[in-house]
Chain A
């Protein structure tokens, strides 16, 4: 564990919540420049509207998600900061799992 920085070992608390992890991952599958309507995101995730709004607000406050409002509906997308945060989160997660595995196998 000597080489592990403290920051790398901490999972981003904004993403490390089941509903928000699912939101961020779902939006990350869209290419840059695309956005997903609120109702479709809700359908894909199976969350209640109230629950989804709460988590989206948190993600928007952090700057990970932004929205586009049209006459018809609000759509959301992952910002470049959000994409980078998810990459960091996934890397940290891999690091934690790897160190955990090597520790338990006596390495």
Chain B
């Protein structure tokens, strides 16, 4: 039987290394791809929103087309995230599966609560300007907090630092008004995701 044949030490060492790489390739979530997908979605989506409001005097709010572009990009980013994470973690059970399920649910519940609160603010009479700021900084705030906490689970320093960065962008961006905040969110937020994607990709191959 071929499987029972003895290996030379160098063949065994090569097989060990190759098996480790293959297993990692199959079972590890490709984080750089996920950050890149979200970076593109935020950069282009918020960029389109910014283009639609930057010439407005007085401010009225983003065009329907810009909102639709952002919505479609976010929907695609959610879809590829679920696909890629699902492919890598299929068949993996135990502690990290339970952590992952709670982590995923945190996003869903966090954003659901945010959207309900935004609806309430609008209903209470918040102006278009206030809502414009809130629509951009709300997701940055939720995302930044989730990243910082999730980094504590996975001891991921890059993710932790990026969480702090997103909170800083949200806090500073909120002071730039409904137009400026979109540019801050697109460049510093979306661009930040792309920087993290590059760092993760570089680390994965060293």
Using CB atoms and an 8 Å cutoff, list the residues of chain A in contact with chain B: 11, 16-19, 21-22, 25-26, 28-37, 39-41, 43-44, 51, 55, 68, 70, 75, 77, 90, 93-94, 96-97, 100
CB–CB B12/A21 < 8 A: yes
B93 interface neighbour in A26, A75, A97, Cβ under 8 Å: A75
Q: A39-B91, A44-B27, A93-B12 are in contact. Are A17 and B19 (CB under 8 A)?
A: no
Residue numbers in B under 8 Å from A28 (CB-CB)? 20
Residue numbers in B under 8 Å from A43 (CB-CB)? 91
Considering the complex, which residues of chain B in the window 47-93 have a beta carbon less than 8 Å from any beta carbon of chain A? 90-93
CB–CB A35/B93 < 8 A: yes
B78 to chain A minimum Cβ distance, whole angstroms, is 24
In Å, the complex CA distance between A96 and B9 comes to: 7
In Å, the complex CA distance between A35 and B19 comes to: 17
B50 to chain A minimum Cβ distance, whole angstroms, is 42
CB of B97 within 8 Å of the partner chain = yes
* Residue of B13, B92, B93 with most partner-chain A CB within 10 A: B93
B19 interface neighbour in A21, A30, A34, A51, Cβ under 8 Å: A21
CB–CB B16/A34 < 8 A: no
Of the A-B pairs whose beta carbons lie under 8 Å apart in the complex, a sample of 28, sorted by A's number, is A11-B9, A11-B12, A17-B4, A18-B7, A19-B3, A21-B16, A25-B20, A25-B23, A26-B19, A26-B27, A28-B20, A29-B20, A29-B24, A29-B28, A30-B92, A34-B97, A35-B92, A36-B27, A36-B91, A36-B93, A37-B91, A37-B92, A37-B93, A40-B90, A68-B93, A75-B91, A93-B12, A97-B9
On chain B, which size bracket covers the interface?
20 to 34
In Å, the complex CA distance between A69 and B4 comes to: 28
Residue numbers in B under 8 Å from A41 (CB-CB)? 91
Per-position 1/0 for B1-27, Cβ under 8 A of A: 001111101101101100110111011
